[in-house]
Structure 1
Amino acid sequence: MGISPYLKEIGRGSAGARDLTREQAAGLMGQLLDGECTDLELGAFCIAMRVKGETPDEMAGFLDAIDARMAKLPASSRPVVVLPSYNGARKLPVLTPLLALLLARKGLPVLIHGHSTEDRRVSSQEVLASAGFKAQPATRSIATGQVHFVATDSLHPGLKRLLDVRRAIGLRNSAHSLVKLMNPIDGPALVVGSYTHPEYAESMTATFRLMGTHAMLLRGTEGEPVADPRRTPRMDIFLHGDTHAVQAAREGPLASLPTLPTQIDVASTAHYILAVMEGLLPLPEPIGIQADHIVRACKAIEAAGDPSCLQSLAASTP
């Protein structure tokens, strides 16, 4: 039937727009992903949702459509840590690959998926490639202790098309939020979601609950799913959608700030990450804390979602 009936509902402006049900949202997103709309309709959807804002039910419906169409990686022997990396470096180095390598060293399989929508930012994919990690297809399971990067178009080309609308209109759209919430693994996984503004924390929390997701949620570094190396943020763990606060936010910067690269280019960032992994430079404390909470969360998933495996470091870490 086309997406015009949906556009009439969501495109009436911030005051007049009507919300979609979860089922309607799934139908709309399904048509977008399947390429059943023109570029004009695609742009209209992105602007309409940008003005209206997504409800948790709409986000859940969008995710239902993605889940039904996405090429998923086979399950691994342990829960896979999923790190969505789409923002890249703006003022600070992109340290998502550092978190990934640290988690792999701790015996977990790790997936980074992403797609660059801004040429001016350094991406995790570029840093990983500089360190010798090539992009992988979305057909291989990830062994314990391994890191795979999978490009978004390998998961679903229609999702990449949605992300690429930003290059045409200069604005983020619903897809930029969806990729931080979806689980591309056909089996147990922990999705590490990050936000930049408090209102997104509320909407992401509501969506994780609706979807029954295993996840971590924190205010990341410039939208990346890694703790700011200069301060420790609040961290919540979701097991089957139930929230568990595992780390309280600490006010202000650390007592001793880490030594970070002065440049955020690909070579400087890769050199810094490898130096930390080789023990030549200290690991930033907040990233170490985040990794420990992720390990505990994966153990809880392996114990059939038993929250007793979650022991906060907040009280024991100075």
Structure 2
Amino acid sequence: MITSLLKEVGRGKRGARDLTYNEALQAAEWIVNLEATQAQIGAFFMAERIKMESVEELEAFVNVCRSQARREHVQEGIDCAGPYDGRKKSFYATFATSFVLAAAGLPVTLHGTATLPPKWGITLQDLLLELGINPKQLSQEASLEAARETGVLFVPAEEWCPPLKRLHGLREEMGMRTVLNTAEKLVDYGHSPYLAFGVYHNTVFDRMSKLLTNLNYKKALIIQGTEGSEDLFIERPTRTYQVENGEASLQIIDPDAYGLELPPPEVDWTPAEQIAVTEAVLNGGGHLAFMNQVLLNAAVRLHLAERVDSIEEGLYTCKDLIDNGTAWELYVKWKVSLLISEQQQPLHKTTVTTP
């Protein structure tokens, strides 16, 4: 049982050893299937946090989650993988960016859950709730249909990956990061060849680059972004690692190099304010710092996914898609599609207002 493996990872900072991939796979299966007790699962997560998870251990948890999740070849695009504990102090640029990318012909997968520790911030699910869409009542087929129509797939992760739902309560009680904080972002619901992956600390660049290589993404960008997200800063350079063909290279992306650097205003962020700024940007307005942040993030991701030959070309492409209203129209189409699908759910009523 898991006790034997727990002894190996729980011998303290100096005495603990990394599990082999097969050992970690067994531990992950026991944990996600709740074949271990709550105390054993909590102890394992704590021990791994102290020891620091190895690449093999992370990969095992990712693969077990993937094996129990619904994953669809609905689109060959980019997965935008930010922290599930949300935002507290920054604009959710990746949300607006997704509709610009889809308008440019690059499908996008977004995913998340209700807020989690350690940050307990605003999540993508909170943004959908603000739009009148309840992710927990959103059918998988409705999400897939909206993706086919618009190129943007939103996945309520706990509805598509049951292990995450089983362990949500325990993670809330623990109130700290666990191996799942990484694994949940890499379930890859859309089988995306490209990945934008947010991290908090540059000390994990090497481990994450090896992990993403093992997971066989065609190209991935590891981003030490705002609040540990996949969003590039607009007021200063961002450290990133590009992973391709088993090689990782450090890339500093400086908004000043493209004439975009601008300090964003301080905002008391709420879900309503996040949506208001998102819609302002997609309509071609709002504070210039937020517009620039969306343009930079979209251009870099288009370049990563080989849709444009340079970031500069990506900036021109994305600016045109916002200026001519294409990105806004796609956002409205996606939102209305999900609102209509929710209206059709039994025992749930909502009013659909077409923007």
TM-score normalised according to structure 1 size: 0.83
Shift in alpha-carbon separation, 1:269–1:60, aligned structure 2, 3 A: same
Find the partner of 1:288 among 279, 292, 295.
295
Task: Name the stretch that deviates more: 219-228 or 4-13.
Answer: 219-228
The alignment covers a number of residue pairs equal to 304
**Alignment check: 8 A CA contact 1:125 1:149 kept:** no
**Alignment check: 8 A CA contact 2:93 2:293 kept:** no
Is 1:27 matched with 2:34?
A: no
Q: Deviations over 1:29-50 (max 9, x none)?
A: 1121122111111111111101
Shift in alpha-carbon separation, 1:313–1:87, aligned structure 2, 3 A: farther
**Alignment check: 8 A CA contact 2:236 2:254 kept:** yes
Q: Deviations over 1:50-89 (max 9, x none)?
A: 111111122122222222222213332x324343441312
Deviation of 1:99 after TM superposition, in Å, equals: 2.1
Residue number in structure 1 paired with 2:128 = 128
Residue number in structure 2 paired with 1:199 = 203
Question: What SS is found at the alignment partner of 1:207?
Answer: helix
Q: Which has the larger radius of gyration?
A: 2
Question: What SS is found at the alignment partner of 2:254?
Answer: coil
Residue number in structure 2 paired with 1:304 = none
Distance in 2, matches of 1:239 and 1:133, equals 37
Residues 89-108 of structure 1: matches in 2 within 5 Å?
89-108=87-106
Structure 2 letter corresponding to 1:102: V
Residues 94-173 of structure 1: matches in 2 within 5 Å?
94-115=92-113, 116-118=115-117, 120-131=120-131, 135=135, 136-138=138-140, 140=144, 142-143=147-148, 145-173=150-178
**Alignment check: 8 A CA contact 1:26 1:63 kept:** no
Residue number in structure 2 paired with 1:79 = 77
Shift in alpha-carbon separation, 1:120–1:170, aligned structure 2, 3 A: closer
Distance in 2, matches of 1:169 and 1:273, equals 33
**Alignment check: 8 A CA contact 1:234 1:248 kept:** yes
Residue number in structure 2 paired with 1:9 = 8
**Alignment check: 8 A CA contact 2:223 2:232 kept:** yes
Residues 221-232 of structure 1: matches in 2 within 5 Å?
221-232=226-237
RMSD: 3.0
Q: Deviations over 1:240-289 (max 9, x none)?
A: 544355x5243999875255462201111110110000002235434422
**Alignment check: 8 A CA contact 2:30 2:36 kept:** yes
Gaps of 5+ in 1: 301-308
Question: What SS is found at the alignment partner of 1:171?
Answer: coil
Distance in 2, matches of 1:32 and 1:7, equals 12
Question: What SS is found at the alignment partner of 2:243?
Answer: strand
Shift in alpha-carbon separation, 1:286–1:280, aligned structure 2, 3 A: closer
Residue number in structure 1 paired with 2:346 = none
Shift in alpha-carbon separation, 1:269–1:220, aligned structure 2, 3 A: same
Deviation of 1:129 after TM superposition, in Å, equals: 3.1
Residues 181-196 of structure 1: matches in 2 within 5 Å?
181-185=186-190, 187-196=191-200
Question: What SS is found at the alignment partner of 2:248?
Answer: strand
Question: What SS is found at the alignment partner of 2:19?
Answer: coil
Structure 1 letter corresponding to 2:303: R
Task: Name the stretch that deviates more: 117-126 or 30-39.
Answer: 117-126
Structure 2 letter corresponding to 1:195: V
